[in-house]
Structure 1
Amino acid sequence: MKLSHHSDYALRTMIQLATSGDELVSIRHIAQTYGISHNHLMKIVQGLGRAGFIETVRGRHGGLRLARPASEISLGALVRHTEGENGLVDCTGCLIAPACGLPSVLAEAMQAFLAVLDGYRLSDVASRSHMLRALFDIPTSAAPSQHALDPAQCHTN
């Protein structure tokens, strides 16, 4: 399965927010970091906010942060949110659909894919916080927050 750009950018945004802890991060900064459209990222962020993954603070010194600790955010839930519940292939209207076994095989594959993602949390993929903070140009002197990552609690691959 190939994830959409929407999911890719949502996951990247969430990783950056996980690395930033309680510090507010602007949409503009995230868009510049990844070289993506500010307007496109705004739509992604709005969806993540409506789904309860992030919270937004308006105003001159506003920005984004995770709505709950990274260790409580399932990658499976994020991908389900961004990709929806659609199957891998739309077989409606297909001539052979009544006799074809492919839809059930693909549904099983999708369930297995999501089951693997359900086993991981955002904190698992953002576990190298010191390296990520350097890449995101976040000062390492900032105090860890409730959203800070504990590598001891992370899965290893």
Structure 2
Amino acid sequence: MHLTRYSDYAMRVLLYLGARPERQCSIAEVAKAYGISQSHLMKVVSDLVQAGYVASVRGRTGGIRLGMPPERIVIGELVRRTEGSLALVDCANCLLAPGCGLACVLGEAMGAFLAVLDRHTLADVIARRPEALSRLVGEPFR
């Protein structure tokens, strides 16, 4: 299983904002912290705002912050939203599909993968390595 860059960036944005709950951040700040394209992050952040994961305030003093407590952001739900298709293989045009058992096995594997992600929230992920987040944001993480 390989997650897309889109999902990776979405998780990075949420981790960054989760490490700075006391203030709004800019997309430029997040992009600079990770060394990634600001234009790529703008689309990701827009979708995260639409889903309610991120709150956005426009204007000179605006910025972005988490739109809900990190305890409510379930990693499995985020991955389902940010990944287009979670099918491991495309069986639609395969001649063996009607009699093949591989699709069932791969579906079971994907279900197990998502079940693990469903057991973890953003708060869980942040709590695992707070020192890494402190280095990322340049100040002690609370």
In structure 1, the residue matched to 2:134 is: 133
Cα distance in 2 between the residues matched to 1:126 and 1:25 = 17
User: 1:10-29, aligned counterparts within 5 Å?
Assistant: 10-29=10-29
Deviation per residue, 1:130-153 (Å, 9 max, x gap): 54133212x44x9x6xxxxxxxxx
Give, in whole Å, the separation in 1 of the partners of 2:91 and 2:108. Answer: 15
For each residue in 1:22-55, what CA deviation from the matched residue of structure 2 results, as whole angstroms up to 9, or x when unmatched? 3101100111111111111101111111111111
Alignment root-mean-square deviation, CA: 1.6
* Structure 2, unpaired ranges of 5+: none
Structure 2 CA distance for aligned equivalents of residues 19 and 112 of structure 1: 29
Q: What is aligned with 2:92?
A: 92
- Measure the CA separation in 2 of the matches of 1:22 and 1:113: 33
CA distance in 2, matches of 1:131, 1:91: 41
Measure the CA separation in 2 of the matches of 1:130 and 1:64: 23
* Letter aligned with residue 16 of structure 1: Y
What stretches of structure 1 of length at least 5 have no aligned partner?
A: 145-157
Paired with 1:89 and 1:136, the residues of 2 have a C-alpha distance of: 38
**Equivalents in 1 of 2:130, 2:86: separation in Å?**
33
Partner-residue secondary structure (3-state), 2:29:
helix
**Alpha carbons of 1:89 and 1:135: their partners in 2 closer, same or farther (altered >3 Å)?**
same
**Larger helix proportion, structure 1 or 2?**
2
Mapped to 1, the partners of 2:86 and 2:123 lie a distance apart of 26
Whether 2:79 is the aligned partner of 1:71: answer no
Cα displacement string for residues 108-145 of structure 1 (whole angstroms, at most 9, x for unaligned residues): 111110000010110111114354133212x44x9x6x
State TM-score, norm by structure 2.
0.91
Question: Aligned residue pairs: how many?
Answer: 141
Query: Does residue 43 of structure 2 align to residue 43 of structure 1?
Result: yes
Runs of 4+ in 1 over 3 A off after TM superposition: 128-131
Could you tell me the percent identity over the aligned residues? 49
Offset at 1:85?
A: 4.8
